[in-house]
Chains A and B, each alone.
Chain A
Amino acid sequence: MRAASCSRKGICISMIEAAPSSAEAAEPVADRAGRLLRGLAERLGGRDAGGGPILPARSIAGRALVLVIAIMTFLAGLTAGAVHLVADASADWSGALAREITLQIRPVPGRDIEADVRLAADLAGRTRGVEAVRVFARSEGEKLLEPWLGAGLDLSELPVPRLVVLKLAAGAAPDFTRLKADLAERVPNAGLDDHRLWLGRLKTMADTAVLIGLAILALVLTATGLAVAFATRGAMAGTAQIIDVLHLVGAEDSYIAGQFQRHFLRLGLRGAAVGGVLAILFYLMFSLSAQHFATTPGAEQVEALFGRFSLPAAGYLSVAAIGLVVSAVTAIVSRMTVYRTLSGQE
């Protein structure tokens, strides 16, 4: 035993030179994502002083929690994607369709269809809020029927209705009761196809769907939080002796909470990565198969209603963001749980 190296109070004031560990120096630098996550981990407060984790990774049953988090993230990712699809489709309807209204004039024996069309267009053009009136020529109307009837047919003998499309001024909400009354009186064979009515219903439905989606997201996040709280409590019970020793060597609650947070952040990131990647893969395959079906008949109508079935970039970003949020929730909930449990003890 050497006393010489030890001065008063300073048991080991004189230190020997210790070579820095080569393991540290040669630590393989992980990819950028790894560094990003580590930065996030640090920012989330998992203070890490030197050495490895103080909590034994293996004694804390993390695999079940990782699975739960993966499932939750997957579900939340699917929900977020669906919300994006619906919201996008709804924006399309309101954007394009809402600004157009179609007048249909059916040919009736004994009436001059061309005069009816002109009259209807004239009446419509005088309605406030209508920006432009476009009369579809007969040939144009026939062209619209081509996909159904095939080209090269002589349609002149068929009673094909004529179309007048009214373009509404942006932001206007024209009153069509007057136009409807005028038309009923003077052009009874004209029908005002106001898709705004069913469009309004569709939009309400879409908005409701979006709200439901957001509610599901909130529920999934809450369930994740609860699962993490239970897992944290279990982990604390399993490491009670370690927590005791940490307290005895002078650890503050914040240090212990930080250790748990660090541990659970890691579990959260792992689960969220798995679940998020699966959700993204799901939507990639979804849009691939949608592209496949886009070549089949009937696809156009479906597309008009639901958009292109492919998740916009923002949708994928949302899935990634949900992964991060789930990880953050995991870390924060575990920290709070530790704090509350420890401050309840004495």
Chain B
Amino acid sequence: MQPDVEHAAPSTGEEALSELVRFENVGLRYGIGAEILRDVNFSIHSHSFQFLTGPSGAGKTTLLRLILQTLRPTRGRVRLFGQNVAGLSKGELAHLRRRMGIVFQDFRLLDHLTTYENVALPLVVQGREEASYRAEVIELLRWVGLGDRMHVPPVILSGGEKQRAAIARALIAQPALLLADEPTGNVDPSLARRLLRLFIELNRTGTAVVIATHDLPLMDLVDARRLVLAEGHLHIYD
């Protein structure tokens, strides 16, 4: 395995355009608790690849939820695809979310649907006809190695298979930004490396990737930007 990854730094000219995510002095607390995130500043550019790391409970999932706008910051400003999200309607947010793919720590697959239907979900909610995406979904399922598990419900999938189904669901709408929360948390090291390679491959095709993980050996396989959360602050190692 060749761990090193080259990714083109965005050229200065299109920098503003290609800034997918920008946090300015973002702070967040749940309810009246302590601030989980304090004065967080960073951007994520298109085509970029980065890890988001930090100890358990540091706020990685929280940060991803802020990007996904299922959480509103208590302080500061979040910009997505060049737009300040504070003034956006729910409908506009839904459309922004369609440009992001998310792999949850706990997968969040729907048990009453088949694997195929789960993966197709982002397209279904856009009102697409099945005929228009069927082949795409099947191809993607094969790509993640679930070609023969398409028509079973997620409950009978193994942890690693669920992981891959969740990844496929995040990728099916060809997002500009992929957010993956502990995508290797439930799999053995060899599958973890295969999944990592899948993400790298995906990044080569142009998708910006954020992988939240505390798997240090895995991160060491790739020379990539690291966003490190510690005690509410974000440190960036380019």
**Residues on A close to B: CB < 8 A?**
1-3, 5-12, 14-18, 20, 47, 49-52, 54, 56, 58-59, 241-242, 244-255, 342-343, 346
Contacts and interface: CB of A to CB of B under 8 A. Distances in A.
Contacts of A242: 110
B121 interface: yes
A246 B124 CA distance: 10
Secondary structure call for the B interface: helix
4 tightest A-B contacts by CB? A50-B130, A250-B98, A56-B112, A251-B125
A18 B174 contact: no
Contacts of B202: 11
B138 interface: yes
Interface in B186-221: 194, 197-198, 201-202, 204-207
B120 A1 contact: no
B205 A11 contact: yes
A14 to B, nearest CB: 8
Contacts, number: 127
Contacts of A17: 135
Contacts of A7: 205
B46 to A, nearest CB: 10
Contact of A6 (B97, B108, B205): B205
Contacts of A245: 108, 110, 121
A50 B124 contact: yes
Interface in B151-185: 169, 171-174
25 contacts: A6-B143, A6-B201, A8-B206, A9-B206, A10-B205, A11-B140, A11-B202, A12-B136, A15-B139, A18-B138, A51-B117, A52-B113, A54-B110, A54-B113, A54-B124, A54-B125, A244-B70, A246-B121, A249-B97, A249-B98, A250-B122, A251-B125, A254-B91, A255-B127, A342-B90
B72 to A, nearest CB: 7
A250 B125 contact: yes
A241 B106 CA distance: 12
Contacts of A14: 139
A16 B173 CA distance: 17
Contact of A15 (B120, B136, B169): B136
B154 to A, nearest CB: 12
B134 interface: yes
B171 A11 contact: yes
Nearest to A259: B125
Contacts of B198: 1
Interface of B: 68, 70, 72, 90-91, 94-95, 97-98, 102, 108, 110, 112-113, 117, 120-131, 133-136, 138-140, 142-145, 169, 171-174, 194, 197-198, 201-202, 204-207
A61 to B, nearest CB: 15
A-side binding surface: helix, strand, loop or mixed? loop
B110 A50 contact: no
B131 A20 contact: yes
B169 A249 contact: yes
A8 B125 CA distance: 24
A241 B108 contact: yes
A305 to B, nearest CB: 58
A248 B90 CA distance: 12
A11 B143 contact: yes
Contacts of B143: 1-2, 5-6, 11-12
Contacts of A50: 120, 124, 128-131, 133
B208 to A, nearest CB: 11
A47 B127 contact: yes
Contacts of A346: 72
A1 B129 CA distance: 27
A11 B143 CA distance: 10
Given A15-B135, A16-B138, A51-B117, A247 B205 contact: no
B108 A248 contact: yes
Nearest to A57: B112
Contact of B94 (A10, A54, A251): A251
Contacts of A241: 108
B125 A249 contact: yes
Contacts of B117: 51-52
A250 B174 CA distance: 13
A49 B129 contact: yes
A6 B125 CA distance: 24
A54 B122 CA distance: 12
Given A2-B143, A11-B205, A248-B68, A253 B125 contact: no
B139 A16 contact: yes
Contact of B174 (A5, A10, A248): A10
A56 B111 CA distance: 9
Contacts of B72: 346
